[in-house]
Amino acid sequence: MPTGVHIRDARQQLFDAAERVLLRDGPSALTSRAVTTEAGVAKGVLHRHFADFDAFLAELVHDRIARVEGQAVALRQSAGTGTVAGNLTDALIELFDPVAVGIVGLVIFRDELRARLRQSGLAQGIPIMTEASAMIISYLTEERALGRIAADADVDSLALSLIGGGHMLFADRKGTPPDAEAVDKVVTTVIADVVQRRLL
């Protein structure tokens, strides 16, 4: 496509293309040429909207973090409804969609991207995983206050276990994502003690 052609919402078009490349070919295949080819635009379009390719990738990560932050609000609002295990299972399934798992791999794969994300003010840790952990901590803190898990529950450790276990279940990019039953089994095992002690 000629560079002079107006492209409606080019940034989103490029983000969508990057996600398709990431899902199909993995983090190592994500280059500016691959993205612009997938989007059907000239390479200059990307550089017209972003300082360089790592700036583009950093914005892609920030876009995904914004989705996690939106999910965190909804999860916290679910406290006190349904079951704790059910709410957490649904949250992990939504969180670890194939794009999010691919972006986590991308962050781990690209040193320059991690450096760029640090410069943008993101906290230590792996972006997306860090925000996901904060989401679970916030939710479990609310459930603890409501008395649905033990009053002395270590929500930080529980969140790390849930995020780590969830990521392990979903991280096989070429495989079939786990079903809800498999995710629920991990969640139920991790939170069994704090749910049981709440009943004593």
Q: Which CATH number does the domain housing residue 13 bear?
A: 1.10.10.60
Quote the domain boundaries for residue 15.
Answer: 1-49
What's the total number of domains in the chain?
Answer: 2
- Same domain (yes/no): 168, 76: yes
Taking the complete model, does pTM exceed 0.85, yes or no?
Answer: yes
The residue ranking higher by pLDDT, 119 or 123, is 119
Percent of the chain scored above 90 by pLDDT? 68
pLDDT digits (tens, 9 = 90+) for 182-193: 999 999 999 999
Residues 17, 110: one domain? no
Q: In which band, very low, low, confident or very high, does the pLDDT at 3 lie, cut at 50, 70 and 90?
A: very low
Q: Does 9 score more than 90 pLDDT?
A: no
Count, residues in the chain: 200
What's residue 173's pLDDT? 55
Give the mean pLDDT of 179-184: 95
